[in-house]
Structure 1
Amino acid sequence: MAWEWIKTFVYLSMCVTSAVGNKQASQKKCADFNNTTWQQYRQGTKLRVQYFLFTRNNADCASLFTQDCLNQTQKHTAYFNSSLPTKVIVHGYRPLGSKPSGMSDLAKALLREEDLNVLVVDWEFVASFAYNLVVENYKEVAVQISELINKLMKHGSTLESFHFIGMSLGAHVSGFVGTQFEGKLGRITGLDPAGPMFKKAAPFDRLDSSDALFVEAIHTDSDQFGISIPVGHVDFFLNGGMDQPGCTHLDLGSMYDYVTCDHMRALSVYTSALNRSCSLTGFPCSSFEKFLAGKCITCEGPFTGTCPQIGLLKSGITVTPLLNHEKVYLLTTATAPYCAHHILVELRVSPLDKSADIQLTLITVGHPETELKLKLNKDEMVYKMVTAHPAQLCKIDSVQVKNTGARFFRQGDIQFAYICISEIPQTRGLAPLCVKNINIGRGGPWSRDFVQLWGVSRDHRSTSSLESKSFWSIILC
């Protein structure tokens, strides 16, 4: 299995060319990542790690982090301020000839949120070799970073002030740095920690909750390049941790973008979450299937009612002592800011003579429609499911249901006692939107419009053969 991963990464290395663009070329004075060449790869390159410093004074142009950044001897140098928190960004494995993407965007997003030091670790000279060789050497990279942390502590920094953000293999590098300091680093965020050669590794050899005072991980590709097991105090599994929305299209640019889309989504989502345009809230649950089945719609229990969120805060977690390897699930959209509103759909069906297939559609004007396909069984009457919708409950204009059973199956009418939709978590006490007594013929569509008037939602119109009663429900957007 390991050899198959090695061959995959070698293939990607051959597919990818240099990521240096005109914009980077025009900023020659800004520090930039090393770019390992094929000749260096064949000859073997001595391990070399360098660091870039971003502050609010140079958020758009990284400076090479040198001793001058500590002793403030040169006016043109961005200074490291030991009295401020420090974010350390560590990239992961890179195909030969490419440079890490998204690092400067993440640094800028962090600086918009808070006045701090942002150090970006450049270990390209070792990260671009064959994957198995990179894994063999990642601990040496972590040791070099640890030496820098010790030097910064002599200038006034504290271990608690360091927050490591590691992408893929960089998450395990960050974890081993934490191991060097006996888990006393302030925080580690693993962005889809690498899975190949780590899924069966001992906690000492990979990112683990013991590596910092607070460890979190965001999983987006656990069936391919990411790790599938929980590794932090809290682990966010986006869309079940695999197959991210929008990553199934072939028009993503290069073959590399297509293959790594799920894996890199963790970085994109985390960067987007820092802008606070919307919340990315996770729900604790034992499995993704149970979450989708509507069995985990609150944050009672392990989080005492506070749903954990992706972002700079400690995921909104206030429980003490911290939980360990707690899995939380959430759904996202295909594009930034990736936030989706979690809608719980509940329906009750009268007894059926035969199983049936239906399609339920949530419609908000100006947004993509949300379609749900559901098989109704003879021995089951009540159904629940969680879906992602781009708009709030109070902005859903209509719900449509269609009996999609095959014609030759001779499926008859379907009688619904009710269909209800509500937004979770139900923290604002909003009543669900419900319609009752619905009859749908075979192949015949049914729809219900919701008219929003002065903060009140009203069941307005039906196209079903059996008219249902009007209702009122207080909805505050």
Structure 2
Amino acid sequence: MIGKSLVLLFAFAAIASADTRFNFIHYHDGTTTEYSTDTLPQILTHPSFRRTGETVAFHYGAGQNLGSAEVSDIINSYISNERYNLIVIHYFNMEVISTDNAVSLSDVLATTFTRLFDTGYNSGFMNFVGHALGAQILARTSRLIQNRANFRHVIGRLTGLDPASMGPVATIQIGRLTSADAQFVETIHTDGTLNGDHLSFGHVSFFPNGGENQPFCTNTIPTIRANCNTVFSLTMWAESVRATSQIFPSLQCDTWPRYTAGVCNNNHIAHLGRITDNNLRGTYFLRTNNAPPFNRETPFP
């Protein structure tokens, strides 16, 4: 009887220690399974989880939730592409995603994913995909994982979808996404007015339509226009996830004016999106269509 009581006590303590701000939703077979920060390693025993397959862990940005149109687009696009294990970091209250909480959130995420890797999942198969502040939180998470494990666990791929500009104090506290945060780091920059941070560079960085203002984001209110800019990175990524071949051809170039002037027309062509070359390095520019599908067949201005 005492032994059974101790088991129940330990089980209760494990449940009580789980972070109540968010959980992890595993999308599979037309349904979902939810895990807490304590139980995520149990996903390895799920019959639909491919232990030798790539896993996408998606973190949406501040002010978003599962019902946000662009977030739903990302989730549904990955569901339609059955190649990946899909985990979404789900916040019960979207106000929790803030620069004030980013340090503690990344600390808990790093602890949780480290336990997953210690349980037997290869960190090299993990693709962290984060939008806006979510990109900066995952970048810090990835950094903490490799530092705490003395580089025994290093995230395979980190995708920053318009990484957020956080202000000088928060940037010091949280850190800024860099190419050192994973084996391969890519960034897509779609806003350079209020929300986006053009100094958060990956091994390769893409600047659709110059990365400052998207031509179809024309609202005269700066905050609304900036939000339109930044969520376009989600729309582009979702379109690339659904694609069966490489899309969004881009030219390596150092500035948008040089790209638009045709100076870079003889430079290397790369493709933004899910299907890309992990050996890519440098800065790339591209134009998109102004309506779906946004993929434009030519990389030239």
Q: TM-score over 0.5 for the alignment?
A: yes
TM-score w.r.t. structure 2 length?
0.79
CA contact (8 A) 1:269 1:337 kept: no
Indicate the residue corresponding to 1:172 in structure 2.
Answer: 136
Per the alignment, residue 196 of structure 1 pairs with 166
The AA in structure 1 aligned to 2:120 is G
Aligned to 1:262: 229
Query: What corresponds to 2:6 in structure 1?
Result: none
Secondary structure in structure 2 of the residue aligned to 1:241 = coil
Q: Which amino acid aligns with 2:235?
A: S
Give the 3-state SS of the residue equivalent to 1:235 in structure 2. Answer: strand
Q: Do residues 242 (structure 1) and 198 (structure 2) align?
A: no
Q: Counterparts in 2 of 1:99-248, with a 5 A limit?
A: 100-125=68-93, 127-128=94-95, 134-182=98-146, 184-197=154-167, 201=171, 205-248=175-218
Which structure is higher in helix share? 2
Whether 2:243 is the aligned partner of 1:276: answer yes
- Using the aligned pairs only, state the percent identity: 22
Change over 3 Å in CA distance of 1:91–1:68 after alignment to 2: closer
8 Å CA contact 1:245–1:332 kept in 2: the answer is no
Change (3 A) 1:255 1:201: closer
Q: Which has the higher contact order (CA 8 A, sep 6+)?
A: 2
Q: Scaled by the length of structure 1, what TM-score is found?
A: 0.51
Q: Is the 8 A contact 1:245 1:333 kept in 2?
A: no
CA distance in 1, matches of 2:156, 2:44: 26
- Matching residue of 2:289: 333
What is the CA distance between 1:140 and its match in structure 2? 1.1
Q: Deviations over 1:430-475 (max 9, x none)?
A: xxxxxxxxxxxxxxxxxxxxxxxxxxxxxxxxxxxxxxxxxxxxxx
SS at match of 2:273: coil
Query: Against the structure 1 CA distance between its residues 219 and 124, is the aligned structure 2 distance closer, same or farther, given a 3 Å change threshold?
Result: farther
Query: More deviation in 134-143 or 274-283?
Result: 274-283
Name the structure 2 match of 1:50. Answer: 23
Q: CA distance change for structure 1 residues 187 and 267 in 2, over 3 Å: closer, same or farther?
A: same
Asked whether the 8 Å contact 2:140–2:174 carries over to 1, the reply is yes
| Residues 40 and 112, structure 2, Cα contact 8 Å, conserved in 1 | no
Deviation (angstroms), 1:181: 2.2
- How far 1:223 sits from its partner (Å)? 1.7
Q: Distance in 1 between matches of 2:44 and 2:173?
A: 39
Q: Residues of 1 paired with 2:241 and 2:66: CA distance? A: 26
1:155 to 1:53, Cα distance in 2 relative to 1, 3 A: same
Identify the residue that residue 299 of structure 1 maps to in structure 2: 267
Q: Match for residue 311 of structure 1? A: 273
Partner Cα distance (2:293, 2:198) in 1: 24
Q: CA deviation at 1:195?
A: 1.1
RMSD: 3.3
Q: What count of residue pairs does the alignment treat as equivalent? A: 274
Q: 1:202 to 1:62 in 2, by over 3 A?
A: same
Q: Which residue of 2 aligns with 1:439?
A: none
- Counterpart AA for 1:299: N
Q: Please give the alpha-carbon distance, in whole angstroms, between the structure 2 residues aligned to 1:316 and 1:293.
A: 26
From the two aligned structures, give the one with the greater strand fraction. 1
Shift of 1:335: 1.6
Distance 2:264 2:137 in 1: 33
**Cα 1:54–1:98 shift into 2, 3 Å:** closer
Deviation for aligned residue 1:196: 3.4
How far apart, CA to CA, are the structure 1 residues paired with 2:299 and 2:156? Answer: 35
Q: CA deviation at 1:221?
A: 0.6
| Residue 201 (structure 1) shift | 3.4
SS in structure 2 opposite 1:102?
helix
Tell me which structure has the larger Cα radius of gyration: 1
**In 1: Cα distance, 2:116 partner to 2:48 partner:** 12
Aligned counterparts of 2:128 and 2:34: Cα–Cα separation in 1:
19
Cα deviation 1:301-324 (Å, max 9, x = unaligned): xxxxxx2212223x22546xxx3x
Q: How many Å apart are 1:343 and its aligned residue?
A: 7.6
Query: Residues 295, 140 of structure 1: CA spacing in aligned structure 2 closer, same or farther, 3 A cutoff?
Result: same
Write the distance in 2 (CA, Å) between the matches of 1:299 and 1:244: 24
Secondary structure of 1:290's counterpart equals: helix
2:63 maps to which residue?
Answer: 94
Q: CA deviation at 1:204?
A: 6.8
- Gapped runs of 5+ residues in structure 1? 1-45, 301-306, 345-385, 387-477
